[in-house]
Chain A
């Protein structure tokens, strides 16, 4: 049958679940199949598209590569957050503030540090709950204090740079939305932003702090009893592999970091600093 409006709308809605770079082909496939379906069962047929799109989304092998943001190195990540913080702060300072009295109050540049510190304190309250919701971090081999310090500084800088972004965003939306909706929106954006900060931290190499790349699928769901299955990501500089189990079992509850020795270095780029130089002992 030819694609009719209700079926077309169902397929369009389901296509939003498919990864954006595969969406056009996915939709073309379903629309061409729909042409052959008898009218009577067409709607039921189209409803299956949601499951298919969801499967495609869940099995998208490289969300990091497809995100379009090149935040692989820690410096580019911090530079991006800093640029975003400056841009949102400038917009927030130039926007008219909320109508609290007879005249709208304007946010001045002097209010930004205070607001950001307030946000930081509130974030401190929310952070443990979000950390708990995300689940356990990776089992990493012992990292000496310089490596741990570097990771801690990176995490602290990301959290600090998020504060002006969240505060500025709150000030920008406040005149547009009502106060309860703006409050709800700011809580949701905190949660999402901190979830991203923690997940981003977990997906970074503990040695060079670069995002782990090239995820590949290991094992299969039908063999869970015998061995783990899930995804394995690699540090592009050859420092190690991160194993994330798709279904945590008693022996794979936490993601597992497997550090590669220096003998692996020849397989990766020449710009690879050794684990020892970065302060990591071999297991």
Chain B
């Protein structure tokens, strides 16, 4: 009992940490591109990235499950070439939760970049600095509150994720059984005490993360919640 409880919490933390790390790796260049590109179809990409915020998690979960299936070309290709099966695996829920958390990463970063005056970027260019140097030395250090917000929000959102993980991962202890699913499972099994323990931990963690976000942004006033 105690072992499973710890295992579930560790798995939840692993999923949240990995999701956040991958999401920031993808989110930073994506936010940069969305902020500064003049590409005509940009609104379409912005909409696609933001879709998880309005879609029921089951819709994305359903499509991912279909794509992961060995009968689908993508799932079939992964299985035949690499012997990987994503459905009902940790990697499977990781990819799903990266996609699902991406808007929570990209939007604060994009808001942060937009709030910087163009002249800062242009000044760096006229001082001979490349776009990459400008990005890492001038832009990023000046949107720190947005980065903290994006990381905390993505982390909190991943921990709070339920629908997609259930659809794609199911409820395999040690593999895909994260805390939010465990709560549901324990309630179904009438183990209210265990459910309560999970619930309190998630509640406290989310409260701490969101309090961090609001206190960081109170000082800087650069970010509005989506």
Co-complex (A, B): no
Residues of chain A at the chain B interface (Cβ within 8 Å)? none
Residues of chain B at the chain A interface (Cβ within 8 Å)? none
